[in-house]
Structure 1
Amino acid sequence: MALDVVALEGFVVRAKSVTYVGGGEPVPASRTGSHDLAFAEGPWGYLDSYVGASDFLGQELVTFEGEPVWAMNYYGYLLRPDLIDAARTGFVIRAALSAMYAEGRFLGGFAHEIQGYAYTDTSEGDVTHFSGTEWISEGGERLYELRYHGGLVRD
Structure 2
Amino acid sequence: MHRMIAPPDAGTLETFVVRAKAATYVGGGTPAAPPWPGSHLLTFSDGPWSYQDCYVGGASFCGQETVRHHDIPVWSMTYYGYLLRPELIDAATAGRVIKAALTGLYATGRFLGGWTAQVQEWLYTDTSSGDVTRFTGRETIERDGTAVYELLYLGGTVAE
- TM-score, scaled to structure 2: 0.96
Superposed CA RMSD: 0.6
Match of 2:68 among 63, 67, 91: 63
Aligned pair 1:131/2:140, yes or no? no
Which amino acid counterpart does residue 118 of structure 2 have in structure 1? E
Which amino acid counterpart does residue 81 of structure 2 have in structure 1? G
Q: CA deviation at 1:32?
A: 3.1
Specify the alignment match of 1:141 in structure 2. 146
Aligned pair 1:112/2:117, yes or no? yes
Stretches of 4+ aligned residues off by more than 2 angstroms: none
Map of 1:45-64 to 2, 5 A cutoff?
45-64=50-69
Specify the alignment match of 2:100 in structure 1. 95
Q: Secondary structure at the match of 2:54?
A: strand
- TM-score, scaled to structure 1: 0.99
**Could you tell me how far apart the structure 1 residues matched to 2:36 and 2:73 are?**
18
Q: Which runs of 5+ in 2 are unaligned?
A: 1-5
- Count of residues paired in the alignment: 155
Q: Secondary structure at the match of 1:13?
A: helix
Map of 1:6-85 to 2, 5 A cutoff?
6-85=11-90
Q: Secondary structure at the match of 1:24?
A: coil
CA contact (8 A) 2:7 2:74 kept: no
